[in-house]
């Protein structure tokens, strides 16, 4: 009984990380239909930036997180301008190739600069260890993760539902041409959303160094998971993405815990079945492009 | 009425013109024959390029002609490779029998999985093909008692061709064997793609709704083209097994699917020869650059991909065609 709760707890923590990293991809995919396989690169960049900031510049863990968020968001703006923008109207194939190219370059670059090993991260002392809650020993860091993610989710939902910019995003996702003719600058909306999403991915990558690990193959290793979360959740839907991320997180941890010999088999099988049952995602829009 | 007849005969003339083998095409295959005599020491590598070329051609059929983006094509290559390997390690060592069974097994898998592709958006399809590829990799990895797992399938013994020609260490028999199979598969694919059926596929790629409106059964077209591509990929996999007498688990890997996509793009899609040229260029450069440092290779490849998607659509063959068009237009300007 305890082990089941423990597995669910670990799965939820893992799923929250997946959510923070993937939510940006979900919105940009719903908004522009850009098949960006390289989204994990931003998470990887966030992870490496955090490790460098902490070890080289001596900045604390909590202080480094906002820096990572801003830096990755700004960096992604440059990439959006130079590489992504010319290809918005292209075929999926071209977009896939571009993002595979970006993955290759960053993987080789990270390998060259940081070496092929796992990167260590020093988590502040008050976040290490366990805390006893209702007879369960829960990792403090994972609790911290879930709190951060809950905060981000509330912020995102509030932003999307209650602010003017959120309304613009929703309008652009629903009907791009109509939004444009109403005077919304969809390109600008997209640019900002892209930066925000990439920044969140960077933050997720930084938070996840301790849980997911960090090595040059990060972007490829978790590529399937990020895409999976987005496709299953339905592109453009924040709640759908959250639901899918938590579900997949729990399923993956449970699979690895109870039937380790099956390896990653369960997650792939689950993905195919879910995609066949819900071709537009769990909470996706029927008319999604 | 007579206008229709005239139009129809014009279309026939167009198709017939496409159908005739051009000198450059004949030259291409003669060069491949010449390789046998010119590079007797690197025939093993040359057959690997040819096999990869066949594999890339099978991807070209579904990607270049039918417009289905897939990231899991290695699944069929791997099924073919393992089928041929298992046949040979269980005593059925005749190469042709292995080739046929491998093609059949991959074809069945392709036929079944094609139904999963008929729904959903491009991204959903991409994910499903990716998922099937990764799933098969996990299966091969877990079923180590049958497939050998990460150590690969050992004990593959391939019999003599026609019971006469044994596979030698220098790959002489292997090269000729692969070349003949490659040519037969190519000739088959070529005539299929130039037939009205091939044109129907292309119209499907360009605009699905219109294709459906003029009476092309797109779901059926998709099913059989995917099956045919799977068969060819399976045969390519079997050829790799038979010429190397070994099956490594990497035949099913994601890297193989991704590399294949890159090769095809480098060579040029929907050109018939793009797969072979891309495979040759990719493997030759990879071979020389990886010897220096594998990271350089990956970095260089990434940069190349980004530049190609931004500025150089159509790959090597597309670039050559553009160059030829440019020269022709210059000439026409000079002599109006």
Digit-coded pLDDT (tens) for A249-284: 888 888 888 877 776 777 788 778 877 787 777 665
Per the CB < 8 Å rule, is B124 touching A102? no
Chain B residues touching A35 at Cβ < 8 A:
122-123, 126
Per the CB < 8 Å rule, is B302 touching A108? yes
Mean pLDDT across B96-109: 93
pLDDT at residue A284, rounded to an integer: 59
Classify domain B39-292 by CATH architecture: Orthogonal Bundle (1.10)
Of A77, A83, A121, A85, nearest to A105 (Cα)? Answer: A83
Could you state, in order of their start, the residue ranges of all structural domains in chain B?
39-292
Residues of chain A under the 50 pLDDT cut: 286-289
Spatial distance between the Cα atoms of A162 and B314, rounded to a whole number of angstroms? 46
Spatial distance between the Cα atoms of A25 and A27, rounded to a whole number of angstroms? 6
CA–CA min distance B114, chain A (Å): 12
CA–CA min distance B137, chain A (Å): 9
Share of chain B above pLDDT 70, in %: 96
pLDDT band of B314, cuts 50, 70, 90: low
pLDDT at residue A135, rounded to an integer: 67
pLDDT at residue A288, rounded to an integer: 42
pLDDT at residue A56, rounded to an integer: 84
- Find the residue in A nearest to B311 (Cα): A86
∠A216-A217-A218 over CA atoms, to 5°? 90
Per the CB < 8 Å rule, is B258 touching A100? yes
pLDDT at residue A286, rounded to an integer: 47
Residue with tokens 């993905």: A271
Q: Does A269 touch chain B (CB under 8 A)?
A: yes
Interface of A with B in 165-224 (CB under 8 A): 220, 224
Q: Does B137 have pLDDT greater than 80?
A: yes
pLDDT at residue A287, rounded to an integer: 45
Residue with tokens 């639901």: A243
Are A184 and A171 in contact by the 8 Å Cβ rule? The answer is yes
Beta strands per DSSP E along A75-172: 130-133, 136-139
Mean pLDDT across B63-75: 86
Per the CB < 8 Å rule, is B138 touching A235? no
3-state helix, strand, coil in chain B (%, to 5): 80, 0, 20
Q: Does B207 touch chain A (CB under 8 A)?
A: no
Could you state, in order of their start, the residue ranges of all structural domains in chain A?
2-115+139-277
Per the CB < 8 Å rule, is A29 touching B305? no
For the structural domain made of A2-115+139-277, what CATH number should be given?
Answer: 1.10.3470
By CB neighbour count within 10 A (0-12 exposed, 13-18 middle, 19+ buried), where does A11 fall? buried
**Structure confidence by residue, pLDDT tens digits, B225-254:** 999 999 999 999 999 998 888 888 888 888
Spatial distance between the Cα atoms of A206 and A53, rounded to a whole number of angstroms? 11
Of B124, B75, B44, B98, nearest to B226 (Cα)? Answer: B75
Mean pLDDT across B82-92: 88
Six-digit token string for B164 = 């006469």
CA–CA min distance A205, chain B (Å): 22
Q: Does B336 have pLDDT greater than 60?
A: no
pLDDT band of B81, cuts 50, 70, 90: very high
Higher per-residue confidence, B147 vs B33? B33
The helix/strand/coil state of A130 is strand
Q: Does A266 touch chain B (CB under 8 A)?
A: no
pLDDT at residue B335, rounded to an integer: 59
Mean pLDDT for all residues in chain B: 85
Interface of B with A in 119-178 (CB under 8 A): 119-124, 126-128, 130-132, 134-135, 138-139, 141-142
pLDDT at residue A2, rounded to an integer: 57
Single pTM value for the model: 0.82
pLDDT at residue B49, rounded to an integer: 93
Of B294, B204, B281, B325, nearest to A112 (Cα)? Answer: B294
pLDDT at residue B334, rounded to an integer: 64
CA–CA min distance A93, chain B (Å): 6
The helix/strand/coil state of A93 is helix
Are B248 and B81 in contact by the 8 Å Cβ rule? The answer is no
Higher per-residue confidence, B308 vs B185? B185
Per the CB < 8 Å rule, is B298 touching A92? no
């Amino acid at each position: 009984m305890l082990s089941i709760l423990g597995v669910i707890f670990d799965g939820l923590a893992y799923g929250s990380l997946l959510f923070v990293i993937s939510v940006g991809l979900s919105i940009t995919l719903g908004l522009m239909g850009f098949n960006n396989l390289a989204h994990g690169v931003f998470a990887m960049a966030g992870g490496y930036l955090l490790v460098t900031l902490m070890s080289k510049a001596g900045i604390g863990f909590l202080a480094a997180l906002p820096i990572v968020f801003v830096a990755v968001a700004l960096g992604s703006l440059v990439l959006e301008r130079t590489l992504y923008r010319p290809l918005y109207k292209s075929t999926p194939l071209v977009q896939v190739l571009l993002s595979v190219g970006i993955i290759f370059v960053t993987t080789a670059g990270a390998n060259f600069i940081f070496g092929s090993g796992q990167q260590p991260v020093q988590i502040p002392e008050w976040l290490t260890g366990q805390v006893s809650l209702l007879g369960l020993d829960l990792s403090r860091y994972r609790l911290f993760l879930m709190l951060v993610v809950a905060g981000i989710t509330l912020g995102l939902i509030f932003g999307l539902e209650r602010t003017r910019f959120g309304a613009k995003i929703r309008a652009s996702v629903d009907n791009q041409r109509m939004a444009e003719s109403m005077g919304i600058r969809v390109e600008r909306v997209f640019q900002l959303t892209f930066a925000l999403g990439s920044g969140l991915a960077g933050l997720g990558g930084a938070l996840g160094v301790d849980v997911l690990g960090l090595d040059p193959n990060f972007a490829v290793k978790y590529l399937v998971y990020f895409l999976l979360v987005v496709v299953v959740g339905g592109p453009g839907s924040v709640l759908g993405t959250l639901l899918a991320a938590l579900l997949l997180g729990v399923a993956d941890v449970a699979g690895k815990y109870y039937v380790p010999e099956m390896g990653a088999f369960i997650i792939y099988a689950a993905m195919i079945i879910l995609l066949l049952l819900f071709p537009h995602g769990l909470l996706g829009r029927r008319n999604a492009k | 009425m007579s206008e229709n007849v005239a139009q129809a005969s014009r279309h026939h003339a167009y198709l017939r013109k496409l159908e005739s083998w051009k000198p450059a095409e004949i030259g291409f295959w003669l060069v491949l024959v010449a390789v046998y005599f010119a590079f007797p020491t690197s025939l093993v590598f040359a057959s690997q390029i040819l096999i990869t070329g066949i594999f890339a051609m099978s991807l070209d059929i579904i990607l270049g002609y039918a417009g289905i983006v897939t990231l899991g094509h290695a699944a069929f290559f791997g099924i073919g490779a393992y089928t041929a390997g298992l046949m040979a390690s269980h005593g059925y060592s005749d190469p042709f029998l292995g080739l046929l069974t491998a093609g059949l097994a991959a074809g069945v898998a392709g036929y079944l999985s094609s139904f999963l592709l008929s729904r959903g958006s491009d991204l959903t399809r991409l994910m499903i093909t990716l998922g099937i590829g990764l799933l098969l990799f996990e299966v091969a990895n877990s079923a180590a008692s049958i497939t050998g797992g990460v150590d690969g399938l050992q004990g593959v013994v391939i019999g003599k061709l026609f019971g006469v020609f044994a596979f030698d260490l220098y790959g002489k028999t292997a090269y000729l064997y692969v070349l003949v199979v490659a040519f037969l598969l190519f000739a088959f694919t070529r005539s299929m793609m130039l037939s009205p059926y091939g044109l129907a596929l292309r119209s499907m790629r360009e605009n699905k709704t219109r294709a459906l409106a003029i009476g092309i059964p797109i779901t059926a077209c998709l099913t059989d083209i995917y099956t045919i591509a799977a068969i060819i990929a399976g045969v390519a996999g079997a050829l790799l097994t038979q010429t190397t007498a070994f099956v490594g688990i990497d035949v099913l890997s994601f890297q193989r699917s991704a590399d294949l996509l890159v090769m095809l793009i480098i060579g040029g899609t929907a050109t018939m020869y793009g797969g072979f040229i891309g495979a040759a260029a990719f493997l030759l450069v990879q071979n020389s650059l990886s010897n220096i440092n594998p990271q350089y290779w990956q970095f260089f490849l990434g940069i190349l991909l980004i530049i190609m998607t931004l500025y150089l659509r159509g790959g090597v063959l597309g670039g050559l065609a553009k160059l030829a068009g440019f020269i022709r237009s210059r000439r026409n300007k000079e002599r109006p």
